[in-house]
């Protein structure tokens, strides 16, 4: 069964002329996935499994919310890996909530689900 996890109020402060990269890193063993990155404007991206994608300049990301959806599967037997854990980064900095400076590593036990849809809602305020 697929389970949805939502992370609202995420933010990353970037300069107007700064290149912005989004990174997905799998921490638990056996993960596979697909991450769709919907940015304001026409430059949407996809990351298969883990990796890094350029998503735009800081000024181009300010006019709306960047929405990221990652579908992560972990087909390993629970005896080998019992957790799905994923980190998300903007320019090599772990994402954090605007009202809570703690980082957002996603983690769930496979007893909850072995297929996680992780939804991130990210703003890019000006410096």
Q: Tens of pLDDT along 7-23? A: 998 999 999 999 999 99
51 within 8 A of 23, measured Cβ to Cβ: yes
Domain ranges of the chain: 2-123
Under 8 Å between Cβ of 59 and 16: yes
Report, as an integer, the average pLDDT of 120-124: 95
User: How do residues 64-119 score in pLDDT, each as one tens digit?
Assistant: 999 999 999 999 999 999 999 999 999 999 887 766 666 668 999 998 898 999 99
Whether 122 and 65 have beta carbons less than 8 Å apart is answered as yes
Entry pTM: 0.92
Whether the CB-CB separation of 65 and 44 falls below 8 Å is answered with no
Query: How high is the pLDDT of residue 104?
Result: 67
Q: What confidence score (pLDDT) does residue 20 get?
A: 97
């Amino acid at each position: 069964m697929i389970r949805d996890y939502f992370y609202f109020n995420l933010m990353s402060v970037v300069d107007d002329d700064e290149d912005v990269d989004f990174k997905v890193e799998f921490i638990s063993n056996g993960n596979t996935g697909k991450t769709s990155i919907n940015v304001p404007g026409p430059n949407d991206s996809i990351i298969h499994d883990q990796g890094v994608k350029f998503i735009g300049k800081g000024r181009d990301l300010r006019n709306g919310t960047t929405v990221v959806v990652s579908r992560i599967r972990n087909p390993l037997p629970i005896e080998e890996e019992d957790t799905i854990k994923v980190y998300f980064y903007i320019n090599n900095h772990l994402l954090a909530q605007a009202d809570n400076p703690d980082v957002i590593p996603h983690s769930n036990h496979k007893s909850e689900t072995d297929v996680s849809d992780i939804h991130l809602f990210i703003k890019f305020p000006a410096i």
